[in-house]
Structure 1
Amino acid sequence: MIANVLAATAVAACLAGGPAAARETLTGSYLAARHAHNLNDVEAAARYFSAALRRDRDNPRLMEHAALNLIAAGRIDAAEPIAARLVDADPANRIGNLSLAVAEIAAGDFARARGRLADRGDGFYPLLGRLIEAWAAFGEGDLAGAEATLASLDDRTVFRLFSGYHLGLVRSAAGDHAGAVEAFETALGAVGAPPPRLAAAYGIALERAGRPTDAARAFDDGPTPFGDPLLAAERARLQAGNPPAVLVETAAEGAAEALHGFAGVFGGESGRRLALAYARLALHLRPDLDVATLLVGELLRADGQHASALAAFNAVPEDSKHASRARIAAAGELLDLGRAAEAIEGLEALIAAEPEAPQPRIALGDLLRREQAWEPCIDAYAAAIDLLDGLGIENWALFYQRGICHERAGVWDPAEADFRRALALEPDQPLVLNYLGYSLVELRRNLDEAKAMIKRAVELRPDDGYITDSLGWVLYRLGDYEGAVEWLEKAVALAPVDPVINDHLGDALWMVGRRVEAEFQWRRARSFDPEPDDLARIKRKLDVGLDVVLLEEAKGVGSTVAAPADAPAPNDG
């Protein structure tokens, strides 16, 4: 596809009779745009696609790329005229029509937006298009039309979730609170744990329908380990006796809600550009939708655009319900940008402002763990644990992470206690089973239990190269070299460029007499940028062989045995 577009633009320039320099500028802009796109740099991609489009104004593919990246970069107004030209060239184009429909809703031209979306039929965003069309009908004052549009959606689970949620929002905005409760319950029936905004909207509708006890129960059904800030705010408001406000009051706010919801759905790796565009369009319609601003930051962070992500997190105002979460996320971006001192300072300020909240202390512990500041890390996690109101399965990661800090600090007994506490909370947690099992083998303690732990971890995560490596390396340490080779070969297949795993396989191959293959694996390990101590040991093995290295180590000369490959830390959520 890239080659086809490039060829088409180049041929168009040639047919136009432009000079070679102009063709090179077009080609250069396009190639720069594709490079930026592949690097997930939407701002540069928007700039270069726009530059290419200026040199080939009638190329619909360039129009679409330029419009999408401009929207994803937050330059909605700059994308609008390109979207209009794109729709002129391709009346069914999705991103062009969506951009224009959003512009029409923002301008209050609900009839035109409604007609645009209705005319495209189900081929145009069969779910998102209908949701926005319903809100355009609401903007026209046609409540029955809005409900009919939502009712036209089929009965697939995800459709029931979105149609029920938005029907509830429409009815809430119209003052039909009992009807809203019914619609929200339809949406709740389509999911297990309710999304926070659905739970909040449902609780508000219950409260306004005269059911405050049921509302309190809805607000208590938080979907995250530490609750959701919106639900927490609604719970506190209800307890204080203050009246509720609906989440959505206008058509523009409703359309923004639909776009934000879809941005969350498409936030995976393959759909992040489109998700970012949806989130930006949501903010164009409702700039105070802080949860969408937060999502923009999270999407940019996932794409490795740390400076842009930091700017998004910092754009969440201090008085927002999501301010604490944004400050924590900003600290993570500062660390990724090499500004650790600022990150720590920001988290310490947040801890001072929210002394009873465990989340900022957990975030500080995570940051210090990444910085390998083991003792302060332990203190931060301990302070967070002291603030927890009871422990549940979701808290296993906190003890696991503190256990790692204890172990890395060279204090084993507290480390083991933390790992076992994590397993008490979630007995089949593969990361904990792997770490504790391997550590016990290294310490020559409880070997049968340790081996069983690692085997169970492999059963739970058979495609995890790091855990598979641990089983192979444990077998090596126990003298089962043939078994070690079998599992380490599997580990290398799962994580082929990890230096530690390749090094381990080399050692096992050496011990079963496959010396040439062992040296090949050590050379591979050397090429994958191992840690300095590991690199020195690899070079020594290549010079004199593993037997000599082991003798030197037994006499206290040279490097120590390489540590196992670390499994990735769990997502802290």
Structure 2
Amino acid sequence: MTPAVAGASVQPDGALHAYARARLADGDGALGLAVASYRAALVQDPARVEIARRSYVQGLESGDRALALQSAALLDQVGMLPRDGTLLMIGEALTRKDWAGAETLVGRMVEEGNFAFIAPIVRSWIAIGEGRYAPPVIDSKDRFASLGLRYADEHIAFQALARRDLAAATPAIRRALAVRSSDGAALRLAFAGQLAAQGAKAEALMLLPVGSAGFASARVAIGKGKGLKAAGAAVTPAQGYARLLSRLAVDVGSDKAGGTLALRLARMATFADPAGAEPHILAARLLTLQGYAPGAITEAGKVPARSWYAPIAQAELIDALAAAGDEPAALMLARAQAAELGAEPERQVRLGRLLAEAKDFAGAAAAFRAAQAAYAPDQLPWTLLLFEGSALEQAKQWDEARAVLQRAAAMAPNEPLILNYLGYAQIERRENVEAALELLKKASALKPQDASITDSLGWAQFVTGNVEAAVPVLERAAAGAPTDITINEHLGDALWTAGRRYEARYAWAAASIYAEGDVAARLAAKSKEGLKPEYAAP
């Protein structure tokens, strides 16, 4: 119990009762109940810092702008506002067009240090709001200059487009898209809409790949000159700030440890630009990753079906539906997306993964094969071959799987994932065991800290009769993944064969904790009777 609530009595309708209910709902991932309870607790006891702190977090994660702002104000009064709270308050000032207030908050952000590198960009938007133009200037001597430069070009481009200065906008657009090559689809649509609205239709269409389903509706609209006024509306300072927070959230969220902060930043972006598609798409993605699938479904649904951004939102909706356990709905939408003319490879991959999770491995292999059709032979990603080979192997089409996996290994001879899969699959079948052992030795040398690859090597050594070499390798694998069922069973089999019977039973017991079905029955038999040929791990 936290010091803030220790020793206090809990009244049925009091603040602490609401707070306790909120914490329980929070722990269960029930965002709706949690935020309602935090709101009630804050109303009843606004001076309690612990309630305000949790309400602030919950207000951001749930997208409750009023609760987040109220909690932030209370925390700010007692000097306990988190550093990202300054970002929230800047967005609110920009939304209210309080340019002086926003400038003061930017100064505070610089003093705090954490997000100081975005200050030149935010100040450039404040200048736009004040009716003047002051492009973001990044001091090259600043130690965080490279971070600021990563984000500047997008804003330089939009500000140039607002001034109808296509000459200045064009190179900035090119640089901005180069930086965001892996997640730039929405940015391409935004730039294309701006260009088309200013009569630069050819330049707009050049940003949208021909034959790509995700850009089809935008290309048609641009060609017909429909809906360009809305798509080409000048970006406001608040919207520009939302874009900045969104990009920052993408980069922070690329690290698993940064997921919580990334979600907060994305939510702040939705507050600053509530009608914008991109912040809601990003929020949906991050909510799914953070385990809040119902909230992700809601966010993805905020993008209108006729929007240029709808295909991107639908992709996030598919992931959210699957994470929420609604596999039939996720599969139905994934099939529809994959069936569209010009469906991108990622649509086929998403469908393939869903089919694999549904145990339709033959269907998954077909989807992964369809994804490959979009690439020239010399540009085919080896990952698609690995996906197909894995699906075929699980579909019990081993001859076909082996051929695909061998193609992948020939294409990427130093990729440990391929070497491990091909080597271990052959060891499981006691096929080409010496050659498979060499593949696994190479995979382990390339990625020595990978417990799964270490296990494959140790098991291959055991299968080929080198028990003395296998045991320490398998012990190392078990140390790296102490709860892994397969690794602990392999270790137990090797220890038993080496005469270390007590330790073998200990390893089998560790494997049994999470084992189910036939594996659990096999482990139970080994623990009782010892290792017999019919009980050996496959």
TM-score (normalised: structure 2): 0.85
Residue of structure 1 in register with 2:99 after alignment: 110
1:337 aligns with 2:324: yes
Aligned-partner Cα distance in 1 for 2:409–2:219: 32
Partner SS, residue 266 of structure 1: helix
Aligned-partner Cα distance in 2 for 1:59–1:305: 27
Residue of structure 2 in register with 1:127 after alignment: 117
Contact in 2 for aligned 1:33/1:46 (Cα 8 Å): yes
Aligned in 2, Cα 1:248/1:273: closer, same or farther, shift over 3 Å?
Answer: farther
Aligned-partner Cα distance in 1 for 2:370–2:452: 31
Counterpart selection for 2:415 from 404, 420, 429: 429
Contact in 2 for aligned 1:160/1:187 (Cα 8 Å): no
Aligned in 2, Cα 1:120/1:510: closer, same or farther, shift over 3 Å?
Answer: closer
Aligned-partner Cα distance in 2 for 1:458–1:170: 51
1:534 CA displacement: 1.2
Residue of structure 2 in register with 1:17 after alignment: none
Residue of structure 2 in register with 1:7 after alignment: 3
Partner SS, residue 316 of structure 1: coil
1:318 aligns with 2:305: yes
Aligned-partner Cα distance in 2 for 1:185–1:329: 26
Residue of structure 2 in register with 1:460 after alignment: 446
- Amino acid in the other structure paired with 1:339: D
Aligned in 2, Cα 1:303/1:153: closer, same or farther, shift over 3 Å?
Answer: same
Residue of structure 1 in register with 2:151 after alignment: 162
Per-residue Cα deviation, 1:186-224 (whole angstroms, up to 9, x for no partner): 7689x595752667778899999999999888767x9xx
1:306 aligns with 2:293: yes
Contact in 2 for aligned 1:293/1:313 (Cα 8 Å): yes
Contact in 2 for aligned 1:317/1:323 (Cα 8 Å): yes
Contact in 2 for aligned 1:106/1:252 (Cα 8 Å): yes
Per-residue Cα deviation, 1:463-490 (whole angstroms, up to 9, x for no partner): 2211211111111111111111111101
Contact in 1 for aligned 2:461/2:470 (Cα 8 Å): yes
Q: How does 1:270-419 map to 2 (within 5 A)?
A: 270-354=257-341, 356-385=343-372, 387-391=373-377, 395-419=381-405
Aligned in 2, Cα 1:476/1:147: closer, same or farther, shift over 3 Å?
Answer: closer
Aligned-partner Cα distance in 2 for 1:335–1:427: 34
Counterpart selection for 2:525 from 514, 537, 540: 540
Per-residue Cα deviation, 1:433-477 (whole angstroms, up to 9, x for no partner): 111111222334333321121122222322221121111111111
TM-score (normalised: structure 1): 0.80
Structure 2: state its 5+ residue gaps. none
1:78 CA displacement: 3.2
- Amino acid in the other structure paired with 1:131: I
Q: Percent identical across equivalent pairs?
A: 30
1:37 CA displacement: 4.9
1:298 CA displacement: 1.4
Contact in 1 for aligned 2:277/2:303 (Cα 8 Å): yes
1:272 CA displacement: 2.4
Per-residue Cα deviation, 1:11-32 (whole angstroms, up to 9, x for no partner): 6x5xxxxxx3349965555455
- Amino acid in the other structure paired with 1:295: L
Contact in 2 for aligned 1:334/1:342 (Cα 8 Å): yes
Contact in 2 for aligned 1:134/1:150 (Cα 8 Å): no
Counterpart selection for 2:491 from 502, 505, 508: 505
Residue of structure 2 in register with 1:482 after alignment: 468
Aligned-partner Cα distance in 2 for 1:466–1:313: 36
Aligned in 2, Cα 1:187/1:311: closer, same or farther, shift over 3 Å?
Answer: closer
Aligned in 2, Cα 1:329/1:201: closer, same or farther, shift over 3 Å?
Answer: closer
Contact in 2 for aligned 1:161/1:188 (Cα 8 Å): no
Residue of structure 2 in register with 1:562 after alignment: 537
Q: What value does the CA root-mean-square deviation take over the aligned residues?
A: 3.8
1:508 CA displacement: 0.2
Structure 1: state its 5+ residue gaps. 14-19, 554-558, 564-573
- Amino acid in the other structure paired with 2:497: M
Residues 53-62 or 146-155, more deviating: 146-155
1:510 CA displacement: 0.4
Contact in 2 for aligned 1:313/1:330 (Cα 8 Å): yes
Per-residue Cα deviation, 1:551-571 (whole angstroms, up to 9, x for no partner): xx3xxxxx5x434xxxxxxxx
1:471 aligns with 2:457: yes
- Amino acid in the other structure paired with 1:171: A
> Aligned residues, how many?
533
Residues 81-90 or 466-475, more deviating: 81-90
